[in-house]
């Protein structure tokens, strides 16, 4: 049932998720990759589900496959802000010892390389199969991360 619930989260089916949670299924249920429902909602840009799961008690710092968190996997500024407001730690490292700032630096470099290749008339290889964030939202998220790291108290 947990795997089925994760599919509802992935599809953005708020009613099905509410119904499943009302039957007692744990808000910390995971998908087949051991990602929490919150991570799945964040990966698929379902803000309403992110908010629902957080209000139901989902751990904003739960780690999924590769040691990633919902904050590391989210694809929109509004979800990032909701996760941070709920206590998600932007300084957590994944299993590869990469924190959010280093992941965004790598993504920015990859995005720039992809844009340059497309402008040069070259079709991307495997990179084209990866998720590329909308540039305006990506820049807004990158600025938020930079601000968090600049204000970090060590």
Q: What confidence score (pLDDT) does residue 113 get?
A: 67
**For 67, which DSSP code?**
G
Asked whether 67 and 94 are in contact (CB, 8 A), the reply is yes
Q: How far apart are CA 39 and CA 68, in angstroms?
A: 8
pTM of the model: 0.75
Asked whether 50 and 42 are in contact (CB, 8 A), the reply is yes
CA angle 144, 145, 147 (to 5 degrees): 65
Q: Which of 34, 35, 37 is nearest to 8 (CA)?
A: 37
Q: How far apart are CA 140 and CA 39, in angstroms?
A: 20
Indicate the CATH number for domain 2-150.
1.25.40.20
Backbone dihedral angles phi then psi of residue 45, each to the nearest 5 degrees:
60, 45
Domain boundaries, the chain: 2-150
List of the chain residues with pLDDT < 70: 1, 103-115, 117-118, 121-139, 152-154
Q: Which of 66, 64, 16 is nearest to 38 (CA)?
A: 64
Token readout for 116 is: 């340059």
List Cβ<8 Å contacts ≥24 apart for 104-109.
104/141, 104/142, 104/145, 107/133, 107/138, 108/138, 108/142
């Amino acid at each position: 049932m947990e795997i089925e619930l994760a599919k509802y989260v992935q599809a953005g089916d708020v009613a099905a998720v509410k119904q499943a949670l009302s039957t007692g299924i744990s808000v910390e249920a995971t998908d087949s990759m051991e990602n929490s429902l919150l991570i799945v909602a964040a990966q698929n840009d379902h803000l309403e589900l992110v908010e629902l799961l957080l209000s139901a008690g989902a751990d904003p710092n739960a780690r999924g496959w590769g040691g990633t968190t919902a904050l590391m996997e989210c694809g929109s500024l509004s979800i990032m802000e909701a996760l941070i407001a709920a206590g998600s730690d932007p300084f957590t490292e994944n299993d590869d010892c990469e924190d959010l700032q280093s992941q965004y630096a790598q993504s920015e470099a990859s995005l720039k390389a992809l844009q340059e290749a497309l402008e040069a008339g070259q079709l991307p290889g495997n990179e084209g199969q990866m998720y590329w964030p909308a540039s305006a939202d990506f820049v807004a998220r990158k600025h938020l991360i930079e601000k968090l790291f600049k204000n970090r108290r060590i």
